[in-house]
Amino acid sequence: MFRYALFDLDGTLTDPGEGITKSIQYSFEWHGIPVSDRHELEVYIGPPLRDEFMTRLKVDEAKADSLVAKFRERYNDVGWQENELISGIPEALKTLRRAGFHLAVASSKPITVATLVLRHFDLEQYFDTICCSAPDGSHALKKDIVARALVELCVTEEEKPFAAMVGDRKHDIIGGKANGISTVGLLTGYGSREELACAGADFIAASPGDMVQWLLA
């Protein structure tokens, strides 16, 4: 049975879709980038925004930084409050804690906003540590965040077989595998079964309840 579980935030613990897509749309429109359908912006949910803007929009670092800054202008004000709690998450975390698990958040979201979201939904109580990017969004590489979370949970090399990373996008799976731990893809977020399977997820859960059963098996 596992003893340690690391969780992504966006799309795994909460659904940030409305707040993130509206804030990206706000940024794009300010920069003169047309948006025909806000839901098309869901592809940006999960990975570090700066990198995704550079990759998908083919913009340079300065333009990507400007896009991120305008995004944060709205998201840090009202966007984070548009999160919705994913059904079954509080019960899942409570069950794991009762079973003796040590839990961590391992998210690329800036620590300041992540903490606001976790406190808003009263989830902070379940975690031993919260590892995220810096307030300015730097240090956002998922494999590095997972590594830091493992250190803060005091997971030794010998104990890594008892640790798992849970997330809804390929970046979560890749970050977990890069650190030598098991990975769980959660389908309640924004990654497809195909995306998670191609990334090498050890288990793909249809719900938080399925995830808990696998971790406790």
User: Among residues 35, 67, 37, which one has the least CA distance to residue 50?
Assistant: 67
Q: Is 60 a catalytic residue?
A: no
Phi-psi region of 177 (alpha: psi -120 to 50; beta: other; left: phi over 0): alpha
Q: Which residue has the tokens 């804690």?
A: 97
Which of 8, 168, 172, 210 is an active site residue?
A: 8
Asked if residues 202 and 182 have their Cβ atoms less than 8 Å apart, the reply is yes
Report the alpha-carbon angle 6-11-16, nearest 5. Answer: 125
State the catalytic residues: 8
